[in-house]
Amino acid sequence: MKLPRDLSGARLIKHLCKRWDYEIVHRVGSHVILQTGQPGHQRLPVPDHDELRVGTLNSILRLVSTHKAVPKEEILEGL
């Protein structure tokens, strides 16, 4: 799977909130803290940068896919 190179933090945050039941809890500096209760409690820091680094994006996708029990490719659908 090839990850997008120009994905912004704001766009990823919006997508995770809209499609994957995350909500914004608060902001710490340039990071937005997301939280979900589905299927269990998880907190996730996402940098609100213009372009996310590939390693950072991969790490966020890995955390979400493990928690939601879906493949990483499915999380990126609809972006």
Instruction: Report pLDDT digits (tens) over 62-75.
Output: 999 999 999 999 99
Residue 58 domain flag: yes
For residues 77 and 79, what is the distance between their CA atoms, to the nearest angstrom? 6
pLDDT of residue 79: 87
Residue 14 domain flag: no
Residue 4 domain flag: no
Residue 17 domain flag: no
Residue 8 domain flag: no
**Would you tell me how many other CB atoms lie within 10 Å of the CB of residue 16?**
21
pTM: 0.93
Residue 9 domain flag: no
Q: Give the Å distances, CA to CA, from 34 to 1, 2, 45, 79.
A: 25, 24, 6, 18
Residue 57 domain flag: yes
> What 3 state SS string does 5-56 have?
CCCCHHHHHHHHHHHCCCEEEEEECCEEEEEECCCCCEEEEEECCCCCCHHH
pLDDT of residue 7: 96
Domain count for the chain: 1
Residue 66 domain flag: yes
Instruction: Report pLDDT digits (tens) over 9-61.
Output: 999 999 999 999 999 999 999 999 999 999 999 999 999 999 999 999 999 99
pLDDT of residue 1: 79
pLDDT of residue 50: 96
The parent domain of residue 62 ranges over: 25-76
